[in-house]
Structure formats: structure tokens, C-alpha cells
Amino acid sequence: MTGSLHHAPIKISPVLARVSAHLDDLAGQVQSVETTVGSLMITPDAQAISQLQTLDYLRQSLEDLARLVGFLGQPDADAAPQRAICAHLRLTSTKLLLQLGTEDTDTTTSGDFDLF
């Protein structure tokens, strides 16, 4: 980076849009690996199934983070209530990232594991 870039102000919305797209791309890559690994397993044992579920959770987390970052990059995101944002998220763990102790957030919905 050149010296002038260090002092340039950052426009957050475009950065968040790029981060969101990157997270979404990573989720797609994880899903591809997930599908490949799942198709290679003939008789998975309990540990292999657990590892596949972990991979699935990773993908769902990346998808949720892509949605969250994309939403936060919108100009009116500051005015949105937590419930409105949470309605677009699948995982309780992602919804909990929004809890600031100021509003009650419904976190009873969790992600579904995709079986291979």
C-alpha cells in the first residue's frame, strides 16, 4: 500500500458488500467440498458423520455471515430493529452476534443439518 492510501477514508458500504460476496463465495466452496466428501463416503462412522455436520455448520455460518454483512452494508441498516435482521438469519449463533442487551431477540431457530 502506498502512503496516501493509509490516510484515505474508507467507505464502509462497498467494503461490506465485497466482504459479503466473499463470504458467500466461501460458503459455496465449502458446500462443494461438503458434497464431494459426502459422495465419497460409502459407510460413514459416527465420527465421520460428526465431521460432516461440522462442515455443514461451517457452510451455514458463512452463508449467515454473508447475509448479515450484506445487510449491515445497506444505508438504512442502523435503523433496522434486531428482529428484522434476525428474520434473515438461520443460525442462533449468528443471531446472538447482534445481541447488545437492548432488545429481546428470538434465538430459538437453529440451522438444519443437510444429510448427505
Q: What rounded mean pLDDT belongs to the chain? A: 83
Whether the pLDDT of residue 109 is over 50: the answer is: no
Question: What are the cell numbers at 70?
Answer: 450484506
Q: Which residues contact 31 (CB under 8 A, 6 or more apart)?
A: 59
Query: For position 44, what pLDDT does the model report?
Result: 87
Least confident of 43-57, 64-78, 90-104: 90-104
Domain coordinates in residue numbering, the chain: 12-98
Q: How confident is the model at residue 107 (pLDDT cuts 50, 70, 90)?
A: very low
Question: What are the cell numbers at 111?
Answer: 440451522
Q: Give the chain's count of helices (H) and strands (E).
A: 5, 0
pLDDT digits (tens, 9 = 90+) for 14-25: 999 999 999 999
The rounded percent of the chain whose pLDDT value lies above 90 is 53
Instruction: Report d(CA 62, CA 76) in Å as an integer.
Output: 23
Instruction: Report d(CA 80, CA 72) in Å as an integer.
Output: 9
pTM higher than 0.85, yes or no?
A: no
Instruction: Report d(CA 62, CA 30) in Å as an integer.
Output: 9
Q: How far is CA 109 from the centre of its chain?
A: 15
pLDDT digits (tens, 9 = 90+) for 48-74: 899 999 999 999 999 999 999 999 998
H helix runs in 1-116, sequence order = 3-7, 12-40, 46-72, 82-86, 92-95
